[in-house]
A and B are shown apart, each in its own frame.
Chain A
Amino acid sequence: MKQPSPRRGRQRAIRRRLRLFGLTGLLLAWMALHYAVVGLHLLPRNAITILHPEFVHRYVQPFFAQDWHLFAPKPPISNEWCEIQLRLEPIGPGAGEPQLTRWFDVTTPLQKRIWANPLSAEVTRLRTIDGINGQYRTFLARRAAYPDYATYPEAALDADAYERLVLTLAREVYDPSRFRLLAVRGRTLIREVPPFSEYENPNFKPKTLKSITSDWFLAPGADPGR
């Protein structure tokens, strides 16, 4: 069998090495470009992201989208509760008029259970509730500023998710053998934590900063007239 000449073997090795170096260069160039675009995505709005928003968005979505504020620049400075109120209709013989329930605190019992066991399933539940609630608050704020905002598909999705959330939570707090759910609404209470200046004042009474109440949402099949 004919052996390849040492010169040809050396040439082949050089070509292989050049290909590897070329590939290394390409991968390094990709890495530089990747972090340049990710950097643009993370930076505040600037000339490039204003002029070419599609390029940055299309590159980072969905695999490399990221947000690293991590409690910055403003850490949470308030406590928030999600509450729900139900409009129920008693069922059965001699049932009375529809009645309004008290506000049920959804957040505090979940938080207590989470701190008793930080690995419990309640962590996921509370994160879902907080996530949908936060998006709905943004929806309400934007709808108040721009009335046609509610017609945007993203906005409609946030509103529908919140409606579904309060209806889901409502099912967990009333007895369906005695009542029929007519409607439900939610409320978010935002209360300040004692400021650092009141650090040693045990008598400080935190103020409620905001109370945001949602619209009423009809239960499926409920009569709007009731």
Chain B
Amino acid sequence: MTTAKGPTTTFLAQAARALHATFLRRPRHRIGAAVARIGYGLWLLALYLQSSGIREWVWGDAGPFPHPLFLRYANLADEFSLLTYSASPWLLNALWAAGVAAALLMTVGLFTRASMLASTILVWSFHARNPYILDGGDNVGRIVLIFLLFMDCSAYLSVDAWRGGGRRRVLSPLGNLLHNVALYTVTLQFCVLYLSSSLNKVTGPLWQNGTALYYVLRTGQYSNPLLGPLLTKSYAFITLATYATIAVQLSFPFLVWSRRFRVPIVLAVIGMHLGIAVCMGLVHFSHAMISSLLLFVPDETYRALAARLGRRQTRSAAGRSPRHSRSNGNPEPSSGANAEPTR
């Protein structure tokens, strides 16, 4: 016997199916999560190693922000840091070494979840210890690291995956749910970030008249001494680059949800951040942003890229193979599928 379903029942059934497909069926962007994990692991390593020679100046009592001042700050700002417990250089050095080790394990994907948790706690501790050095990259990095903890970041490109014999761990529906909710939360975080930044830019007179980047590239601090004078000579470049920055940032929150435009907009934003790193010297900031953006690239795109790279590698190996070139004199196989050297 069939029962007639009302519109409400149909709507609820459709909503449940959509929720199931989006959040519960499978973890999305697992390769992206692994790439983001590696990106952030390297970002943390850079943070620790860059300051290794002056760590007592930056985070210790040898510098401008000694422990008593830090305790006053931590108390005022309600900041959490493991470095509040002691002013001893031993503690600083031990936590610094632990930070390097955790970042290294996170990068290679060994004891991934534990190393990511340790990395998050340690980076929060060091950021709180010297709040004056923080920039937008640190701000986004520490927020994204919290959400990455709920994602499965070790399914690909990790020692943990290799130890599992290359078999992908099947997550429980709850694991899928947490992974996907964290993914959407990070995506929304970036939408909020670029929407806020672009709306602030739209209201700025120098952004409106297309000269903002001219001023940025004329300051000593944010202008690459080799590229800055060259780029500011071209008013066309300055105007176009200023408007392109606003356009890219403003489009991101809308286009990142579209399957068709996701990869192009992510690539455009990555291009913008590479430009910021090279022309303005904000390497640390751009590194954090790009690491997060790589999370939004779908697994299919990574697989297609890997397949294309694999084909090219096989083709160039075949081209280099002396036996191959001697045997038939045809160094270019016709397609990737036939990329084996012919005998």
Instruction: Point out residues on A near B: beta carbons under 8 Å.
Output: 20-21, 23-24, 27-28, 31, 34-35, 38-39, 42, 61-80, 107-108, 111, 114-115, 118-121, 123-125, 127-132, 135, 153-154, 157, 160-161, 164-165, 168-169, 193-194, 196, 199
A26 to chain B, nearest CB (A): 10
Contact of A73 among B204, B216, B281 (CB under 8 A): B204
Whether the pair B193, A68 counts as a contact (CB closer than 8 A) is: yes
Whether the pair B69, A164 counts as a contact (CB closer than 8 A) is: yes
Whether the pair A27, B54 counts as a contact (CB closer than 8 A) is: no
A118 to chain B, nearest CB (A): 5
Whether the pair B214, A165 counts as a contact (CB closer than 8 A) is: no
B93 within 8 A of A: no
Task: Report Cα–Cα, A199/B135, bound state, in Å.
Answer: 30
Between-chain CB contacts (< 8 Å), 30 pairs: A20-B174, A21-B20, A23-B174, A31-B188, A62-B77, A62-B128, A68-B200, A70-B201, A71-B216, A74-B204, A75-B215, A77-B206, A80-B221, A119-B46, A121-B51, A121-B54, A125-B54, A128-B130, A130-B132, A132-B64, A135-B132, A160-B69, A161-B65, A161-B69, A164-B66, A168-B62, A168-B64, A193-B215, A196-B211, A196-B215
> What A residues does B192 contact at CB under 8 A?
35, 38-39, 42, 68
Task: Report Cα–Cα, A72/B206, bound state, in Å.
Answer: 9
Chain B 43-78 interface mask (CB, 8 Å, partner A; 1/0): 000100011111001100011111001001100111
A-B contact number at CB 8 A: 181
With A68-B197, A121-B51, A121-B53 known as contacts, the answer to whether A79 contacts B221 (CB < 8 A) is yes
Whether the pair B220, A111 counts as a contact (CB closer than 8 A) is: yes
Whether the pair B181, A124 counts as a contact (CB closer than 8 A) is: no
Whether the pair A157, B73 counts as a contact (CB closer than 8 A) is: yes
With A20-B174, A62-B78 known as contacts, the answer to whether A31 contacts B181 (CB < 8 A) is yes
Task: Report Cα–Cα, A107/B143, bound state, in Å.
Answer: 31
